[in-house]
Structure 1
Amino acid sequence: MNSVAETNLTGAGRSRSGALAQMLLIAATWGTAVLFIKLAVSHGLPPLILATLRAGLAGLTIGAWLLVSGAGIRLPPLRVALLLGLLNGFLPNVLLAYALSRIDSAPAALLQATTPLFVAALGQLGLSADRIVPRQALGMLAALGGLLLLIGPAAVLGGSATVIGSLAVLGAAMSYAGAALAVSRLRLAEPTQAAFGQQLAAMTFAAVAAALLEPPSAWQHSAWQQPAGVWWALLGMAVVSTAIPVILFFRLLRSTPPAQAALVHYLLPVAALIYGVGFLGERLQPLSLLGGVVVLASVWVANSAQAAARRTAQAQG
């Protein structure tokens, strides 16, 4: 093997290991979101107010980091901030808060693992150059069966999960998928600046929606009169669950295809399950656990098929 080939292989190996390390860190931080959201909504904090406070505190955190690091604050183009604020901030923040007031964090985390499937499905609308191959389609169909196991029996048997809460998580997963595709197409030069703009836009969307849909008394009763534990949860949600993983995920998307970067959602359920069992004392029903395993395995099959098809196309091209 010549030195150039060895160098290329070494560089590729480092690239893969670096991407995996980033994904593990993203999952470990992002996975705390369900824990902190569950703690906040359990005290009656409305989803729109929670989303406003989460985005606002995350924006302050990212802005402070930009100033301390000397990068300065330069807002991204307005269309970029609005698009990311809607898809990667406002919608999933509200939907997850709404869902976690109705279902446990463990099934919610498993349902959120469908994000890579939505990346593949939305890519067929022209948002990505990747096309679905037969094995990938089979994996996506199998994942639907897993979703029926995860959602259906728990709702029918009167468990903690409900159909409407589960659908809200799936809506959040679809929104995250749209954001991943958008970021990959935008090719952001400064991901931290984009993350800051996203949080400002998400806070604006949530604040306007809360002002229109929540009574004025909700802010005083639901937000300002919360116990200290809720504010600690909001702070953790803003810094650990939002600011850090958003910046890392944007950076990951600069060097990794969206379908591959979305694989971080395989790791999120593991982290969230650990947090839910360890800190909230939650227990998964056997059928829900089986459904989650089917979903994760099916998503892995679907995305590994897509990655193999991409490598074949590159080799032939």
Structure 2
Amino acid sequence: MAMTQALPAVQPTVAPSTRWVTVQFVLAGVVWGASFLFMKVSLEGISPAQVAWTRIVLGALTLGVLVLARREHLSRSIRVWGHLTVLGLTFCVFPFLLFSWAQQHVSSGVASIFNATTPIMTAVMAWLVFRVERLKTLQVVGIAVGVLGVLLIIAPWQGIALDGSLVAELAILGATASYGFSLAYMRRFASNTGMSALGFTFGYIAMAGVVMAVLTPFLVLTPVRLDLPIVASLLMLGCLGTGIAYVWSQNTVRAWGPTRASTVTYITPVVGVVLGILILGETMSWNEPVGALVIFLGILLAQDRLRRRTGV
């Protein structure tokens, strides 16, 4: 998932080169797009809860090593850590569990397409729930267009049955709504913590790790079957996708700003769909890529980019 909006203020750092920022931007999009493949492979040997638990714990450990190596400042405020705990739940625990469970019933490509609704969910949460943004009429139209794209993928004309795939698609939308809630919550309550982007990210992922550690007896003490592809997928999903990629994303936000950096949303579903087809042999119906294009149009409208680009 691309977490590139509404990020907290960061401490001054040496700006990376423009070329290196571009490389990090592309790498983050590729890794997050591949995360849906990693989840699908991991589910062949472990439960959805174990997938979520492993990626959070590995991500927290990876970022913790970086924080120690860079001697990052961490807040001592109980209030700040309270907000980080909320974000750990809504930005990591809830959506990771929902995504992992849902991918038992839908293809990795479809999951990656639905993940692209995150910017639209963020706009809705920032506008209706936290009141930190005012949306123009065209942006509201963009939200409606995004909903239309979701309906195209669900394909209600084929008949609505409360089977596993439909419930899974709704679960993924619940996960992206949780991402949107978290991004708007950041802007409202955690925009000035005094920590760097790395320290802030470590904070909420570490709190998610604490929650998962407490829930270990209830969620993950079940049989597992591990082989090389599953272990490699978990390491990539945790250390890279929930660890290093977040650092790349934070550097992109600092260099480009959140609006431009959020275009990583357009990379992840493309990578997810291509990997699903090439490696997992997944297939797609015509309505799924068409729905994805409609969602992208909705994102452009909801973020007011078309107006800004045309100078209207």
Report the TM-score range of the alignment, normalised by the length of the smaller protein.
0.7 to 0.9
**Residue 146 of structure 1, CA deviation:** 1.4
In structure 2, the partner of 1:191 is 197
**Conserved? CA contact 1:80–1:194, under 8 Å:** no
Percent identity, aligned pairs only? 24
**Residue 17 of structure 1, CA deviation:** 8.1
**Residue 253 of structure 1, CA deviation:** 4.5
Gaps of 5+ in 1: 1-13, 313-317
**Residue 72 of structure 1, CA deviation:** 5.4
1:152 to 146, 152, 155: 155
Cα distance per residue 1:14-50 (max 9 Å; x no partner): 999887655323211221210110101133x222222
**Residue 234 of structure 1, CA deviation:** 0.7
Higher helix share: 1
Q: How does 1:168-317 map to 2 (within 5 A)?
A: 168-185=171-188, 186-187=190-191, 188=193, 189-212=195-218, 216=221, 218=222, 221-222=223-224, 225-254=225-254, 258=258, 261-305=261-305, 308=308
- For the residue of structure 2 that corresponds to 1:102, the secondary structure is coil
Provide the TM-score with structure 1 as the length reference. 0.79
**Conserved? CA contact 1:48–1:207, under 8 Å:** no
1:17 and 1:72, CA in 2 relative to 1: closer, same or farther beyond 3 A?
closer
**Residue 206 of structure 1, CA deviation:** 2.8
Aligned-CA RMSD value: 3.2
**Residue 246 of structure 1, CA deviation:** 1.9
In structure 2, the partner of 1:133 is 136
1:117 and 2:123 matched: no
**Residue 229 of structure 1, CA deviation:** 2.2
**Residue 170 of structure 1, CA deviation:** 1.0
**Conserved? CA contact 1:136–1:305, under 8 Å:** no
CA distance, structure 2, for counterparts of residue 52 and residue 82 of structure 1: 16
Corresponding letter in the other structure for 2:51: L
**Conserved? CA contact 2:132–2:187, under 8 Å:** no
In structure 1, the partner of 2:50 is 49
In structure 2, the partner of 1:62 is 63
**Conserved? CA contact 1:82–1:201, under 8 Å:** yes
Corresponding letter in the other structure for 1:179: S
More moved, 71-80 vs 272-281: 71-80
In structure 1, the partner of 2:13 is none
Gaps of 5+ in 2: 1-15
1:84 and 2:96 matched: no
1:290 and 1:16, CA in 2 relative to 1: closer, same or farther beyond 3 A?
farther
Cα distance per residue 1:87-129 (max 9 Å; x no partner): 2211121111011111001111111111111111111136364
CA distance, structure 2, for counterparts of residue 303 and residue 161 of structure 1: 32
**Conserved? CA contact 1:154–1:288, under 8 Å:** no
**Residue 247 of structure 1, CA deviation:** 2.3
CA distance, structure 1, for counterparts of residue 94 and residue 149 of structure 2: 25
- For the residue of structure 2 that corresponds to 1:32, the secondary structure is helix
More moved, 72-81 vs 287-296: 72-81
Cα distance per residue 1:114-151 (max 9 Å; x no partner): 11111111111363643111212222212212111101
1:115 and 1:232, CA in 2 relative to 1: closer, same or farther beyond 3 A?
same
Larger radius of gyration: 1
1:168 and 1:289, CA in 2 relative to 1: closer, same or farther beyond 3 A?
same
